[in-house]
Structure 1
């Protein structure tokens, strides 16, 4: 099949094509220079994600990769060249983008610094997924404009695979280049972030069709055929932007719900478990929460793993907490130990506490666990060779709980819990029963829709750079997909209130009242009192999930078949 492409050394330089110079340069690279270029473009593509969101860099990078794959088809071993170039591009993107994984090994440096090299295994493994899938797709590669549809669909399959394989790691999938709360991001309420990711890949790849490697450049519709993909996606993406702008122009964010207090003492994760700090952490949380005066917010939220022990099973800490609460409710992240199991099982949990009950009024056990952070794959084998979970309270790792479902507690609007890593996963929240909603037929599968989402996290694992911003962006997309407001409390991350359009209505800030003379060195306490925004009507995505994204895949396949190939 590769005989359709020009041989090494030939140039394609159609007169008047302003892209001929960069195309000829990238298309002509071979050997080490080509691999270095792929790595550099992959690394630079990270500028498209938060906090910069300079999305044109992703378009430039993907167009460059298409053209370098064109060049790979002209090499002596084209399939190997495609594999290597895709691998280096993906490793550049993931290696730089997932730099924060290394910081997790340095939280308890004495125990885990020697294993920091393992942080490179994740981006390398994910890059291998890209390379293998592109290596298979190259068997269908064509010189003409149709190849951009194949390229976009191939990368989508690679991204979907890394987002689901072995539990999945959908950090910074293509949709994340669009800042949540903006016009384009609103399409996630219909397609979800996977559908928006596919649309984004097609949009960013389309300009690559303006130059190609066909030997007879004047045939098969010529320059008109090369323009078709970019015209199509411009119309589709322009329509999506227009729809999103219209949706936001009609948007309201009335804060009609109860007032909530978000509290984070901001203790560094490396200090939290020191004996001299353990009691100070709880005391600081209680000081920021303040005693119940009757006028302060009726709901208080603390972050994931707020205190360095299993709070529900530690009376010396639980008693002062419930005493401070008074008539309020506390939603808190805490470890929970099930001692009825042999051996006992630890869970990363979210609990609702009140002074009225000696036990938690509701508890959610985290369903999606972070590999090596909270759980260790092949637990028994890993323990024999001395590999344990990075988190400091359950060295053998946590166990997974059932899938998340809305929690209902008196005095608190029904809420959907999400703990840390779970906020990365679209569709993790229960799907609405459409038949029940429209027909009135009762079903055991139906559930009452939550009024809001509560997302708690420990972002101090992520280090000081851009990962906490990106984690917050992922969480905001869950609000858009479900049409539900979200309260987020992230230890040493970004805490705030988000409406159902993904827009931030309030951000937590340093306390502006003197209840403690000064935070310990390195602590960054944050607090926010804010009303819960109103929930939106159920979104199309909350009802139908990925049905529309599947329809988009079929449309792209049709385009691939009908666009000029040779």
Structure 2
């Protein structure tokens, strides 16, 4: 139920699954080992949720089926099985410490949300489909993320729908009226209030536009096509031709062209090598004062690690017939098993390797931060996987920091790994929450997936959208940022509040157990 509530399915009555989970965990689970039973119930619910949400992970292993195909089914099972451990732990802790009375749904929501945050951070983190992202980005309810972030919105979501699980029906002779429905009635009002706040934000926010024009290039290239014998030359020429295509009559040439992550199946070292046939083409690709952003892997040197490989966003610019590399942003959040292999020594011994088999895998760069390259307006770079993480940039922006705040977000991604599944649509929805949280527009570019402009309210602009399996270019006028959102100024105050609620109930629960077990003559 909870999985089909998530985009792209969007069957929101499925959110009542939180009430069902609360109700199920409060049943009589037997006296033999109720904690083990509760853990299995929670784990099984989590496994089903993440399997439906992440089945597309198998598609990545089928790109090179001859080498990695045997890993597809284990990966599709092991990923949800691992993430479901958080749900199993949740079930056990809820059973042990839940308070009595209707207030227990607050404890349910606080504990669930706290463990969702832990899931998004621990062991590099994987915050795919958190409860707050059930609401389609750009909708009225999604706007609450501008105040409390996607985790805070998740807390309210679980709180509201879990309240149904504590309904108590009294007999008519008890004369208690609606008392057993108090929690639900309060949460219905809360839901209406949050919806009204979000709708008001949508209705009263005016989006203004800069004069900066960006071209997104999406050639509809599948991941397997990049590795064919003649694939590189055809793909490269395609990107060049689409980048040089004249704009519509009366429209200006773009100031910036964006290619996606993994646009070309070669390193930037080879792309710009003096003896390559591609270097002269790249040098003459751009018009004067025009810039290009693209994703590529490259070699680098680290004083401590020696020669390493990076997954980088590269910015280049043409200025008075001089072609210059303006800067690199090195991906900070790498994909486990995709771009690096955790517990490398142990896992390699049983035959596992990372999917992107370049050297010994990629090395992460410094924490994500706003960058300025040449004449490109200051932006926050997010490469693929990084778009699903709230607050990778930990700066707290206020009106005094306006010059340090980025003007927009650039999200280059390689959704070709996901194939024609629900993965690209989920990825776009998750990334769009970064625009809501930060109050910044986002330009998104993938080789085949969902590319286009996401406005500062998290709405994908239909006229700019290139959907999965679409081919084309979009010349986009970048909107101006909104004023700094409450979330971008305070970041994790809602997670802190949730943690305080969690600790309060644990403390009360422990103290009550101590009091109940203390003999009367010692009280």
TM (normalized to structure 2)? 0.88
**Aligned with residue 106 of structure 1, among 43, 59, 62:** 62
Please name the residue that 1:17 is paired with.
none
Structure 1 residue 255, shift from structure 2 partner: 2.4
Partner Cα separation in structure 2 for residue 414 and residue 352 of structure 1 = 12
**Aligned with residue 58 of structure 1, among 11, 15, 34:** 15
Deviations 1:497-520 (A, max 9, x none): 011111122455679xxxxxxxxx
Please name the residue that 1:319 is paired with.
280
Partner Cα separation in structure 2 for residue 186 and residue 238 of structure 1 = 13
**Aligned with residue 92 of structure 1, among 40, 43, 48:** 48
Please name the residue that 1:525 is paired with.
471
Please name the residue that 1:536 is paired with.
482
Counterparts in 2 of 1:219 and 1:403: CA distance versus 1, 3 Å = farther
Please tell me whether the aligned partners of residues 149 and 556 of structure 1 are also in contact (alpha carbons under 8 angstroms): no
**Aligned with residue 193 of structure 1, among 150, 164, 177:** 150
Deviations 1:80-129 (A, max 9, x none): 22111111111111112110111111111111111221331111111112
Please name the residue that 1:350 is paired with.
313
Counterparts in 2 of 1:319 and 1:382: CA distance versus 1, 3 Å = farther
Partner Cα separation in structure 1 for residue 39 and residue 117 of structure 2 = 19
Please name the residue that 1:30 is paired with.
none
Deviations 1:162-197 (A, max 9, x none): 111101110000011111111111111110001111
SS of the equivalent of 2:342 reads: coil
Counterparts in 2 of 1:482 and 1:183: CA distance versus 1, 3 Å = same
Partner Cα separation in structure 2 for residue 353 and residue 287 of structure 1 = 18
Deviates more, 1:552-561 or 1:402-411: 552-561
**Aligned with residue 289 of structure 1, among 243, 251, 256:** 243
Deviations 1:422-453 (A, max 9, x none): 0110011241355xx55x9xxxxx97111100
Please tell me whether the aligned partners of residues 336 and 349 of structure 1 are also in contact (alpha carbons under 8 angstroms): yes
- Does 2:11 match 1:47? no
- Does 2:334 match 1:369? yes
Please name the residue that 1:115 is paired with.
71
Partner Cα separation in structure 2 for residue 58 and residue 469 of structure 1 = 20
Counterparts in 2 of 1:221 and 1:97: CA distance versus 1, 3 Å = farther
Deviates more, 1:253-262 or 1:169-178: 253-262
Structure 1 residue 249, shift from structure 2 partner: 0.8
- Does 2:77 match 1:77? no
Deviations 1:192-233 (A, max 9, x none): 001111111101101111148xxx989999564432222222
Please name the residue that 1:425 is paired with.
389
**Aligned with residue 213 of structure 2, among 245, 259, 269:** 259
Superposition map of 1:147-226 within 5 A:
147-211=104-168, 224-226=178-180
- Does 2:364 match 1:400? yes
Please tell me whether the aligned partners of residues 61 and 71 of structure 2 are also in contact (alpha carbons under 8 angstroms): yes
SS of the equivalent of 1:409 reads: coil
Deviations 1:352-375 (A, max 9, x none): 112345552011000000000111
- Does 2:111 match 1:139? no
Partner Cα separation in structure 2 for residue 231 and residue 411 of structure 1 = 54
Counterparts in 2 of 1:75 and 1:468: CA distance versus 1, 3 Å = farther
Gaps of 5+ in 1: 1-43, 441-445, 512-521
- Does 2:394 match 1:412? no
SS of the equivalent of 1:397 reads: coil
Please tell me whether the aligned partners of residues 388 and 396 of structure 1 are also in contact (alpha carbons under 8 angstroms): no
Structure 1 residue 161, shift from structure 2 partner: 1.8
Structure 1 residue 548, shift from structure 2 partner: 3.5
Partner Cα separation in structure 2 for residue 507 and residue 403 of structure 1 = 33
Please name the residue that 1:334 is paired with.
296
Superposition map of 1:527-566 within 5 A:
527-551=473-497, 554=500
Partner Cα separation in structure 1 for residue 21 and residue 423 of structure 2 = 25
Deviations 1:392-414 (A, max 9, x none): 5x152111000111121232111
What do you get for the CA RMSD once the two structures are aligned? Answer: 2.8
Counterparts in 2 of 1:290 and 1:91: CA distance versus 1, 3 Å = same
TM (normalized to structure 1)? 0.81
Gaps of 5+ in 2: 510-523
Counterparts in 2 of 1:382 and 1:319: CA distance versus 1, 3 Å = farther
Please tell me whether the aligned partners of residues 442 and 454 of structure 2 are also in contact (alpha carbons under 8 angstroms): yes
- Does 2:438 match 1:473? no
Partner Cα separation in structure 2 for residue 256 and residue 447 of structure 1 = 16
**Aligned with residue 390 of structure 1, among 345, 355, 369:** 355
Structure 1 residue 72, shift from structure 2 partner: 4.0
Deviates more, 1:126-135 or 1:412-421: 126-135
Structure 1 residue 49, shift from structure 2 partner: 1.0
Deviates more, 1:425-434 or 1:175-184: 425-434
Superposition map of 1:243-282 within 5 A:
243-282=197-236
